A and B are shown apart, each in its own frame.
Chain A
Amino acid sequence: MDRISSLERVLRGLLLTLIVIFFLFPIFWILLMSFQTNEQILRIPPSLTFVPTLDNYKALISGHLVTSAGTLDIAFMRNLGNSVLLSTCAVVLALILGVPAAYAFARFKFWLSEDIAFTLLSFRFAPPLLVLLPLSLYFQDLGLVDTYVGLIWVYQLIALPLILWIVRGYFEDISPDIENAYRIAGHSWARTFFKIAVPLAGPGIAAAGLLSFIFCWNNFVFALILASADKQPVTVGALAFVTASGIQYGQVAAAIVLSVTPTLLLALYAQRWLVAGLSLGAVKG
């Protein structure tokens, strides 16, 4: 028995290691690339030994990209700032709008409630490119093209349905009697929402917020069409590395490392909420 289980353990460890290597190798490779020059990256055959350089990071942070064709100004740090600003504002707005809405959909069956909830979810089905053309025309008329407000508004298409549906499942999991008991104790409807419903759905709200933050952060196509250089997030900003003198792989890698870091840290910090949140909300939804 003992030998079988120890063999099993070894096999399991081996398998897990293989899977981890398979999934993490690209990230590891990018990390290595970010410390190499373009020449080192492109040499044949590729080699794991090199003298690390911080030039890529220096160029990104200072904003001056030195290529064989000359010096290029890039706004990477500004793009990173835009990403943080856009994603944070979009998620905060989506939470303010989505959590009360999720509560309403969970607790009250009003006329067309299911249809409205489903319509909001269906925003996630449509390919973004489909809505972009009419949207950009409307935004032109409204003067929302190339504004933070306009982008944050469009980001609601990503964040709001996600928050609405995940958090709704959480609210549905809370026994209505717990809220009823609080109201019978003499507390108003609004107080019951903030003191009972929101804290009890807290993990779900946190998980939904994080997830929609990641989706907003990773969005590319909305900002590509609707924003110009100084409003663009990193996902679009990374296009600047495709220069006249070729693709700057070293800087691209360094940019990826820098832009992944904030969401990675956030996800690591809240990992247990994220996993518990996704499974719990999904089962009941």
Chain B
Amino acid sequence: MAQIEIRNLRKSFKDAAVLRGVSLNVDKGEIVALFGPSGTGKTVLLRLLAGIYAPDAGTIGLRGRDASGSPPEKRGIGMAFQNFALFPHMTARDNIASALTARKADAAEIGRKVDAVARLLKIGHVLDHSPRELSNGQKQRTALARALVADPDILLLDDPLRNVDAKLRYEMRLELPALLKRAGSTVLYVTQDFKEAMALGDRIAVLLDGEIAQCDTPARIYAEPASIGVARLFGDPTLNLVEVEPRLVDGVPEVRVGGAAIRLPASYAAAAGGNYMLGLRPESLHLVDGQAPGTIAVDLVAVTPLNEKSVLLFTMEGGNELLASEAGDRDVPRRTGPSRLAVDLDALLLFDRNSGRRFIPADNMGARP
């Protein structure tokens, strides 16, 4: 039985439908990153789970029981808010302890638990400060401590790293997975940062336009996105999209990109004759010497070295732009001008131009890791 079981959840505000039938299961002890651009209803979904909002339709099951009608205080979950939502008139200690006082724990036990979680999150020295006196990072840790202190078996984290500076966000991204695994809770983690989602989630649920567009492991979401929309959300720089019309040439499917004929694997034969978008990950394009067939003639326009990689901007025949990234920044040419690009066919993505759904090749339906 799933620990969190969301069935066909709908929610509108005034006339705007925010969630249009969301279904999602989260297993016990699993961390699911709820990811999507802003305004797609991630926070609303979390609030429905917490009982802050009531759904228009659909059911919410918690620990195998229907929780749709129960108030927030009866759901037994921990939650950290994006804006921290600390109680400004209480010290950090009382803020954290508030999750325990409701459970009628005795003072000694409350003190022990608060100290333990504060030590874990490195805020032991500021426990007697009021929220006003805390730095943003300390506020964020206090909010997290408040969510964790009662050892809730279900934890909802609403973009807790959104309002902290880049350095701290990086640190917390490293610390959080261990912290969450250690708590052993079932976690639903909202984020708008695909790197955060990939670093933290056992699975990623991609919320797009009020629906779960795809829910899968980070690796599979990257390699086999369900649609153009999902594919564009992952990757930095983002995926290149080129309009193509695959044709069969001598029985082999072929697309033309920037004047070059690129032969696709035979499993793409069924795509022939349709209108598609070819999705090329920047890291699947490589600079090559010579004029080998199947390479694209391009003009290198700009090189952006970023230490661990370099981002190259090309234009190809017809004026379309292509982005490629190469690991490292040493072997990359600094000189702009005409060059040729080879395409790594393993990372190839093909999307239906009308529906946006990914074309699934015949031989490896879901077989790739």
Are A185 and B98 in touch, CB under 8 angstroms?
yes
Give the segment of B77-85, B122-130, B227-235 that binds chain A.
B77-85
Would you list which residues of chain B between 140 and 185 have a CB under 8 Å from chain A? 146, 150
* Nearest B residue to A196, CB-CB: B87
Map CB proximity to B onto A187-216 as digits: 1 under 8 Å, 0 otherwise: 111010000100110000000000000000
Give the segment of A16-24, A91-99, A175-183 that binds chain B.
A175-183
Query: How far does the alpha carbon of A175 sit from the alpha carbon of B51 in the complex, in Å?
Result: 17
Query: How far does the alpha carbon of A246 sit from the alpha carbon of B73 in the complex, in Å?
Result: 70
Query: How far does the alpha carbon of A199 sit from the alpha carbon of B94 in the complex, in Å?
Result: 15
Are B102 and A199 in touch, CB under 8 angstroms?
no
Are A187 and B88 in touch, CB under 8 angstroms?
no
Are A181 and B79 in touch, CB under 8 angstroms?
yes
Query: How far does the alpha carbon of A178 sit from the alpha carbon of B83 in the complex, in Å?
Result: 9
Q: Does A186 contact B (CB under 8 A)?
A: yes
Q: Does A130 contact B (CB under 8 A)?
A: no
A186 partner residues in chain B, CB cutoff 8 A:
73, 76, 99, 102-103, 150
Number of A-B contacts (CB under 8 A): 60
Would you list which residues of chain A between 18 and 47 have a CB under 8 Å from chain B? none
B50 partner residues in chain A, CB cutoff 8 A:
180, 184
Among A181, A183, A184, A191, the residue within 8 A (CB) of B87 is A181
Chain B contact surface mostly: loop
Are A175 and B71 in touch, CB under 8 angstroms?
no
Task: Output the least CB separation between A258 and chain B (Å).
Answer: 38
Chain A contact surface mostly: helix
Map CB proximity to A onto B70-110 as digits: 1 under 8 Å, 0 otherwise: 01110111110101011111000000001101110000000
Are A187 and B83 in touch, CB under 8 angstroms?
no
Among A184, A187, A199, A200, the residue within 8 A (CB) of B79 is A184
* Nearest B residue to A186, CB-CB: B102
Query: How far does the alpha carbon of A191 sit from the alpha carbon of B77 in the complex, in Å?
Result: 18
Task: Using known A-B contacts A184-B75, A186-B73, A188-B73, determine if residue A175 contacts B98 with beta carbons closer than 8 Å.
Answer: no
For chain B, the count of residues having a C-beta within 8 Å of the partner chain is 26
* Nearest B residue to A188, CB-CB: B73
Query: How far does the alpha carbon of A163 sit from the alpha carbon of B158 in the complex, in Å?
Result: 36
Task: Output the least CB separation between B350 and chain A (Å).
Answer: 44
Query: How far does the alpha carbon of A234 sit from the alpha carbon of B71 in the complex, in Å?
Result: 51
Task: Using known A-B contacts A178-B88, A200-B88, determine if residue A184 contacts B83 with beta carbons closer than 8 Å.
Answer: no
Q: Does B260 contact A (CB under 8 A)?
A: no
* Nearest B residue to A192, CB-CB: B73
Task: Output the least CB separation between B132 and chain A (Å).
Answer: 13
A181 partner residues in chain B, CB cutoff 8 A:
79, 81, 85-87, 146
Task: Output the least CB separation between A77 and chain B (Å).
Answer: 41
Query: How far does the alpha carbon of A188 sit from the alpha carbon of B103 in the complex, in Å?
Result: 11
Task: Output the least CB separation between B144 and chain A (Å).
Answer: 12
B99 partner residues in chain A, CB cutoff 8 A:
185-186
A178 partner residues in chain B, CB cutoff 8 A:
85-88
* Nearest A residue to B143, CB-CB: A181
Are A200 and B89 in touch, CB under 8 angstroms?
yes
Task: Output the least CB separation between B193 and chain A (Å).
Answer: 21
* Nearest A residue to B53, CB-CB: A180
B72 partner residues in chain A, CB cutoff 8 A:
180, 183-184
Among B73, B86, B89, B101, the residue within 8 A (CB) of A184 is B73
Task: Output the least CB separation between A221 and chain B (Å).
Answer: 41
Task: Using known A-B contacts A177-B85, A178-B88, A200-B88, determine if residue A185 contacts B71 with beta carbons closer than 8 Å.
Answer: no
Residue of A181, A196, A200 most packed against chain B (CB within 10 A): A181
B101 partner residues in chain A, CB cutoff 8 A:
187
* Nearest A residue to B82, CB-CB: A177
Query: How far does the alpha carbon of A187 sit from the alpha carbon of B89 in the complex, in Å?
Result: 17
Q: Does B52 contact A (CB under 8 A)?
A: yes
- A–B Cβ pairs within 8 angstroms, 14 of them: A177-B81, A177-B85, A180-B47, A181-B86, A182-B98, A184-B73, A184-B75, A184-B79, A186-B73, A187-B98, A189-B71, A189-B73, A191-B102, A200-B89
